[in-house]
Amino acid sequence: MRTLLLPVLLCCSLPALALPAEFRDCGANRDEALTNLATSLVADIRSEVRQTVSTSSFLGINLTSRKESLDQGVSTNLKLKGVEFRREDDGYCAYLKRDDLRAMAVDYHRQAQNYQLKNLPDEVRPRIRTLDQWQQDLEQIRLLGLLFPRDLPRGWEKQLASQQKTLANARAGLYPQGITVRVTGADARLTIAGKPMKSGEPLYLPVGQYQYQVSAPGFCAVTGKVSLDASEDESIRVDMSRNRLPTLQLTTNKPGQVRLMADGQQLQDGKRLTLQRCDGEVAVALTYYDGSETISRDSRYSLKPGREITDHFRFYSRRELNQLEQLSNQFSRGERLEIKYGYTWLPSEYEDFAGAEFDGMHQLKINYLQMNTWLRHGPGIMVGRSGDKISGDLLYNLGLQFTNMGEGRPLHVLGKVAFVPFVNLQLGVGYHQFGQSDTDISLDTFREQASDEEDDLVRDYLVARVGAGLDISLTRWIGVQLYADKSFTQENSVVVGAGLTLKLP
């Protein structure tokens, strides 16, 4: 059935109108015929009601003053039942009997007895749809009751008005769009638009922008804004495990001897402190007294949810600094002798050339170096052997060392042992022989010969290596070294090794 829009007159009951036994109207198709039927029906009813109001009184009440209100009726959706369609001429005609219209009035009134709040669905959207439909049905009863007042029970107007008010109050504050916030990772307190809510519980609100907040002990509060559009839901997920309060843990090389403070609060060495704010910075101050002087350090750390701040501080007494300085003297001044062993790997093509018995080359290096704060330099020699083949180099070393790190102190991590990293460049000449024991094959026969002897000399005898390593000073005079070198000439070998370092008097 087609839903039609008809005005409801806002006045008390009028005498029954003189209606024809059957209503008829036509159109090009069924929909148009039905619409035209409703239009003519409304026009006839309005005309007769207006005439009744203008010329008579009802129950002793002068209705003339209510004439203007007839044009300000409330519209309602009326579902006509029992309409018959007939094909006539070039279109369709719709017929509705008066008795069918009367039966509709009685049927709607009987159905409306079940329109009680207890019968409404619990969910918001179905509840809204049901209330809207019930209100439309009550408006239809008003219209049909105006046409057939004698066919409805006595007092139906008051009952209808009370029912309409109850449903209107129930409909107020219900909205078809909502916000749902789901919180994981903590038993949190949730508010949406200032109203306490449970995680996953939707809150239906008018169209607009709203703020939500999630808070829990031990976690940073999470706030956000969300915009609601008409009839569209917004769902938000908040993982509180990513929003724990930041923590701070400070350690020193002298537990119990250093005073640690964070934002004016004293800390224990190695104990993690939970900070009660999630933004800005936290300032820390450390103080150490070695018996003769006070040494202070301070630092600042930015805060954010979930950050775990850890830091380690080293403090040294005057005596310890003197010991470290003596250790660093091995690297920073005077002469030094290095005696080192290395093992050489060749690229795969050279291993194939050297033969199946090749198991790498073992080499011995001896360097005599001049040391200062940042540089080390001096001559050196290398001899090596692989099977019955030998190699030898004459080299000059030029290296950059890092004896001072941080606040001008030797780099060290294990008590009184100093660690000094370095990088090194080696330039020189050398002869490296590889081949079968019963032949006189050299690298010249492995590679394609150059066009002149000068190219052969550079290719086959020049030595250029870069390397890096770590010096470990055990005493003022003795240390050990770990190193690795890479050659960029001849066979492009890689060498790793270790050795002994001796400071010369």
Q: What ranges do the domains of the chain cover? A: 3-171, 178-242, 247-315, 320-503
pLDDT tens by residue, 235-288? 999 999 999 999 999 999 899 999 999 988 899 999 999 999 999 999 999 999
Structure-token pair, residue 297:
């350090």
Most confident of 211-215, 427-431, 441-445, 449-453: 211-215
Q: What is the mean pLDDT of residues 335-363?
A: 75
**Rounded CA separation 421/34 (Å):** 97
Q: What is the mean pLDDT of residues 463-470?
A: 94
For 410-420, the pLDDT digits (tens) are 666 666 677 88
Q: What is the DSSP letter of 448?
A: P
Which pLDDT value is given to residue 46?
Answer: 58
CB burial of residue 305 (10 Å; 0-12, 13-18, 19+): middle
CB-CB contact of 192 with 248 (8 Å): no
pLDDT of 52 reads 53
Q: Which of 370, 429, 428, 364 is nearest to 399 (CA)?
A: 370
Provide mean pLDDT across the span 190-210.
95
pLDDT of residue 68: 38
Residue 472 has pLDDT above 70, yes or no: yes
Question: What number is the average pLDDT over the span 98-127?
Answer: 90
* Ranges of H-type helices in 314-442: 318-332, 348-354
Which of 76, 78, 96 lies closest to 33 in space, CA to CA? 96
Res. 448 pLDDT band, cuts 50 70 90:
very low
Lowest mean pLDDT among 184-193, 348-357, 390-399, 407-416: 348-357
Residue 439 has pLDDT above 50, yes or no: no
> Is the separation of the CB atoms in 246 and 308 below 8 Å?
yes
pLDDT tier at 409 (50, 70, 90 boundaries)? low
- So what's the pLDDT on residue 442? 45
> pTM value?
0.54
Mean pLDDT of the chain: 81
Fold annotation for 178-242: Immunoglobulin-like (2.60.40)
CB-based contacts of 278-285 (< 8 A; 24+ apart in sequence): 278/220, 278/221, 278/243, 278/245, 278/246, 278/303, 278/304, 278/305, 279/303, 279/304, 282/246, 282/248, 282/309, 284/248, 284/250, 284/260, 284/311, 285/260, 285/261
Mean pLDDT value across residues 278-300: 93
CATH-assigned architecture of domain 247-315: Sandwich (2.60)
Spatial CB neighbours of 310, under 8 Å, sequence gap ≥ 6: 249, 250, 251
Higher pLDDT, 418 or 472: 472
Q: What percent of the chain has pLDDT over 70?
A: 78
How do residues 52-83 score in pLDDT, each as one tens digit? 545 444 333 333 433 433 333 433 345 677 88
Contact indicator for 297, 258 with CB cutoff of 8 Å = no
Q: Decide if pLDDT at 91 tops 50.
A: yes
Sheet holding 258-262, edge to edge: 265-267, 258-262, 281-289, 294-302
Query: CA 153, CA 149: separation in Å to the nearest integer?
Result: 8
CATH assignment, 320-503: 2.40.160.20
Angle made by CA atoms 344, 349, 351, in degrees to the nearest 5 = 45
3-state secondary structure of 13: coil
Res. 47 pLDDT band, cuts 50 70 90: low
Confidence category of residue 359, pLDDT binned at 50, 70, 90: low
3-state secondary structure of 134: helix
Tell me whether domains 178-242 and 320-503 share a fold. no
C-alpha dihedral (108, 110, 111, 117), degrees to nearest 10: 120
